Amino acid sequence: MSTEPAVGPVPPVRRVRVEADGGSRGNPGPAAFGALLRDADTGRVLAESAEAIGTASNNVAEYRGLIAGLALAAEHAPDATVEVRMDSKLVVEQMAGRWKVKHPGLRPLAVRAQRLAPAGTTWTWVPRLENADADRLLNAVLDGERAEGSRVVDEVEWAAQDAALADRGGRQEARTGATAGGTAGAGTRSTADILVGWRDRLATQPTTVVLLRHGVTVNTEAWRFCGSGGTDPGLTDRGREQAARAARWLARRTLSDPPERIDRVGAVDAMVTSPLRRCRETAEIVADELGLSFEVVDDLAEAGFGDWDGLTFEEVSSRWPDLLATWLADSAVRPPGGESNDAVAERASRALAALLAEHRGRTVLVVSHVTPIKTLVRVALDATGPVLHRMHLAPASLTVTQWWPDGVALLRAFSHEPE
């Protein structure tokens, strides 16, 4: 990492605010962090730091951004009180001691941040829009628009900052952390995010990923947890008919005459499926209709629910009430003998990255399960883990996402049930 020389003195300050962010394009994927140190009384940015960190997850990048921001505070304002503002609920809650750090890859980073944080540090979660400056720094590094490293802001730039603050209505706006013209992202998107609603007008071609949930099984109809490592049931007669309806809908799509509707799916170029029986049977029905072959991708399997597998929600709630509540709120928590939603997100994102690399600009059909599909929707929307439990994904429904080469993703349809 190269470091630019300081170009101006940093005046004594009483209170500083660390604004930090990190993100990856792919989660995991190419990752970077951005951090800045702000005088909490004047709103001036005193120093900033940004660095690409290779392939990493969003959470790792966010912790790296926090560490960089705390290092700026220790170097440039060692006697000031510190407030940390981040849009990562996970990092803020863990550093405040309200959530445990359970992921082994995050524990060393959390310990390092704790050692850097001075006594009395306050931890504040803010919406992404209010963390736009840190987001801008990390995206500038990923886009090659900014050299990596740390720098101290000089008096000329402070004058420009003060003028900008006055133009936006005074310093109160600076204290909210909002930045005019800033993008509301968490590092998974490019600086072109403002055009996300106009993507059809752009010359770049997205990769369309159509996500098909399998048809119903006996466990689906009984509303039982049914994950990897369980009984692996096949489709019922109703499930096979659902798969056939989805296949017929997909067969009507053509590249030459795309339908003028929000789901806009062209002809399917390639198919992949989870290895579990219900998905393979769904994929076989669709492949026969489309005249395609398909590949089995292990990373697309349903979450492992461990001791919960085969039980209804009510049965799990009666036996593990506290753990179930924690699982619903924290994507790092796993059922006994099972798999966390964070672990599913890691492997589903890995599968997605491989598909985007291999089938750029084409349409790929992914036959999978509730958790991997909703996870990829969450990644596309740059949403937090608990949002998974606020989506209802119907059996044999189609969800359509598009992914551009610059990292922007778009959700075109969710849980569409073909007729």
What CATH number did the domain enclosing 122 receive?
A: 3.30.420.10
Pair of tokens at residue 7? 């170009």
* pLDDT at position 186 over 50: no
How many percent of the chain have pLDDT more than 70?
Answer: 82
**pLDDT of res. 190:** 38
Q: Which residues contact 372 (CB under 8 A, 6 or more apart)?
A: 274, 300, 301, 302, 303, 344, 348, 351
| pLDDT value at 415 more than 80 | yes
Q: What is the mean pLDDT of residues 404-418?
A: 86
Q: What is the rounded distance in angstroms from the CA atom of residue 42 to the CA atom of residue 174?
A: 8
The number of beta carbons lying within 10 Å of the beta carbon of residue 54 is: 10
Q: Is residue 4 part of a domain?
A: no
Query: The domain containing residue 208 runs over which residues?
Result: 196-416
96 and 160 within one domain: yes
Give the pLDDT score at 201. Answer: 52
Residue 227 inside a domain? The answer is yes
User: Annotated catalytic residue: which of 48, 62, 130, 302?
Assistant: 302
- What is the phi/psi pair of residue 92, to 5°? -60, -45
Same domain? For 225 and 201 the reply is: yes
Q: Is the Cβ–Cβ distance between 192 and 408 less than 8 Å?
A: yes
What gap in Å lies between CA 139 and CA 137, rounded to an integer? Answer: 6
Q: In this structure, are 224 and 183 located in the same domain?
A: no
Q: Count of domains in the chain?
A: 2
pLDDT at 152: 83
Q: What token pair was written down for 399?
A: 């969800």
Same domain (yes/no): 280, 149: no
Please state which of the ranges 14-28, 77-91, 144-158, 212-226 shows the lowest mean pLDDT. 144-158
Domain shared by 156 and 39, yes or no: yes
pLDDT beyond 50 at 173: no
Same structural domain for residues 211 and 79?
A: no
d(Cα 10, Cα 7) in Å, to the nearest integer?
10
Residue at 81 is within a domain:
yes
Question: What's the CA angle centered on 78, arms 77 and 79, to 5 degrees?
Answer: 95
pLDDT surpassing 90 at residue 409 = no
Mean pLDDT of 280-308: 96
Span 125-134, average pLDDT: 87
Residue 254: predicted pLDDT? 52
pLDDT band at 310 (very low <50, low <70, confident <90, very high): very high
- Beta bridge partners, 120, equal none
Tens of pLDDT, residues 218-258: 999 999 999 998 899 999 999 999 999 999 999 887 543 44
Known catalytic residue at 157: no
214 is catalytic: yes
Domain end among 139, 158, 188: 188
Q: How high is the pLDDT of residue 176?
A: 36
Average pLDDT score over the chain? 84
Residues 108 and 206 placed together within one structural domain of the fold: no
Name, in order, each residue with C-beta under 8 angstroms of 194's C-beta and a sequence gap of 6 or more. 183
Edge-to-edge strand order for the sheet containing 15-24? Answer: 122-125, 81-86, 15-24, 29-39, 45-56, 149-152
| HEC readout, the chain | CCCCCCCCCCCCCCEEEEEEEEEECCCCEEEEEEEEEEECCCCCEEEEEEEEEEEECHHHHHHHHHHHHHHHHHHHCCCCEEEEEECCHHHHHHHCCCCCCCCCCCHHHHHHHHHHCCCCCEEEECCHHHHHHHHHHHHHHHCCCCCCEEEECCHHHHHHHHHHHHHCCCCHHHHHCCCCCCCCCCCCCCCCHHHHHHHHHCCCCCEEEEEEECCCCHHHHCCECCCCCCCCCCCCHHHHHHHHHHHHHHHCCCCCCCCCCCCCCCCCCEEEECCCHHHHHHHHHHHHHHCCCCEECHHHCCCCCHHHCCCEHHHHHHHCHHHHHHHHHCCCCCCCCCCCHHHHHHHHHHHHHHHHHHCCCCEEEEEECHHHHHHHHHHHHCCCHHHHHHCCCCCCCEEEEEECCCCCEEEEEEEECCC
| Of 153, 188, 223, the domain-final residue | 188
Asked whether residue 146 falls in the same domain as residue 295, the answer is no
Domain check: are 206 and 104 in the same one? Answer: no
Cβ contacts of residue 242 below 8 Å, gap of 6+? 215, 216, 395, 396
CATH number for 219: 3.40.50.1240
Q: Is residue 2 part of a domain?
A: no
Angle of helix 341-358 relative to helix 370-381, nearest 10 degrees, comes to 70
Same domain membership, residue 212 and residue 120: no
pLDDT at 32 over 70: yes
Name, in order, each residue with C-beta under 8 angstroms of 371's C-beta and a sequence gap of 6 or more. Answer: 227, 302, 303, 341, 344, 388
Q: List pLDDT tens digits, range 64-111.
A: 999 999 999 999 999 999 999 999 989 998 999 888 888 888 999 999
Q: Predicted confidence band at 393 (pLDDT cuts at 50, 70, 90)?
A: very high
Residues 313 and 381 placed together within one structural domain of the fold: yes
19: its two tokens: 């604004």
Structural domain includes residue 390: yes
Using one digit for the tens of pLDDT, what is the confidence trace for 354-372?
A: 999 899 889 999 999 999 9
Q: Per the residue annotation, which of 76, 214, 369, 416 is the catalytic one?
A: 214
Are 239 and 156 contained in the same domain?
Answer: no
